[in-house]
């Protein structure tokens, strides 16, 4: 049994729009595209020119370098070092050997103990949360209850610190942990 192509059989054949045969354009067929031959010719000319350039460079005589003989060195007699003096001409060297300098050092007055407050809350739960964040950063803090004229406040405090520099160092480490609300106070 022969196989039949049902796909091609089901398609209707396209009918030509004109029953007249199409005219051929004689001008279009007479001019063949010469562009590929033109590009090929230019490429060959460039390659030949490059080869000629390389051959031309090879034929050039090597540049001769003029080597001059170095002039004979004239040796001068070296000056001898002067004789070492028997005595030092400067007196301050002997004077400074046994000299003591006394400097008065004034003791730096401490500004007092410092504390760092990282938050003040109305509710103790909020203060506990702040204390937990500070504990995760590696610092021990305290919650202090303060009765003021405007009600009860729960303050989260670190310290006391001997110097402001220590308190500033801890505040910078807390800022690295995204705790940016800490302030340093002189606690006296």
Q: What is the pTM of this model?
A: 0.43
Q: Which residue has the higher pLDDT, 94 or 52?
A: 52
Q: Please report, for the chain, the start and end positions of each structural domain, with discontinuous segments joined by +.
A: 114-186
Among residues 166, 98, 174, the alpha carbon closest in space to that of 134 is found at 174
Task: Render pLDDT for 148-158 as a digit per residue (tens, 0 to 9).
Answer: 899 999 999 99
Judged against a pLDDT cut of 60, whether residue 29 lies above it is answered with no
Task: Render pLDDT for 58-75 as a digit per residue (tens, 0 to 9).
Answer: 887 776 666 677 777 777
Please state the rounded mean pLDDT for residues 3-27: 63
Judged against a pLDDT cut of 80, whether residue 100 lies above it is answered with yes
Please state the rounded mean pLDDT for residues 90-105: 81
**Contact (Cβ atoms closer than 8 angstroms) between residue 154 and residue 143:** yes
Residues 6+ apart with CB under 8 A from 182: 116, 117, 118, 158, 171, 174, 175
Give 114-186's CATH code, choosing from 3.30.70.1070, 3.30.70.890, 3.30.1300.10, 1.20.1050.140.
3.30.70.1070
Work out the angle at residue 165's Cα, subtended by the Cα atoms of residues 164 and 171, and round it to the nearest 5 degrees: 90
pLDDT (0 to 100) of residue 9? 61
Among residues 49, 175, 41, 55, the alpha carbon closest in space to that of 116 is found at 175
Q: How far is CA 181 from CA 64, 118, 142, 161, 166, in A?
A: 79, 5, 15, 18, 17
């Amino acid at each position: 049994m022969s196989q039949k192509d049902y796909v091609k059989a089901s398609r209707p054949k396209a009918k030509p729009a004109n029953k007249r045969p199409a005219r051929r354009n004689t001008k279009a067929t007479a001019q063949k595209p010469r562009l590929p031959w033109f590009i090929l010719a230019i490429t060959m000319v460039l390659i030949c020119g490059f080869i000629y350039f390389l051959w031309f460079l090879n034929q050039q005589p090597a540049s001769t370098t003029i080597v001059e003989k170095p002039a004979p060195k004239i040796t001068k007699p070296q000056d001898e070092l002067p004789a070492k003096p028997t005595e030092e001409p400067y007196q301050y060297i002997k004077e400074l050997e046994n000299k003591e300098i006394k400097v008065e050092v004034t003791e730096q007055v401490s500004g007092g103990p410092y504390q760092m407050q990282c938050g003040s809350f109305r509710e103790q739960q909020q203060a506990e949360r702040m204390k937990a964040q500070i504990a995760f950063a590696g610092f021990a803090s305290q919650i202090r209850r303060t009765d003021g004229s405007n009600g009860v406040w729960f303050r989260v405090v670190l310290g006391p610190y001997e110097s402001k520099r220590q308190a500033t160092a801890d505040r910078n480490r807390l800022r690295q942990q995204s705790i940016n609300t800490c302030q340093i106070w002189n606690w006296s």
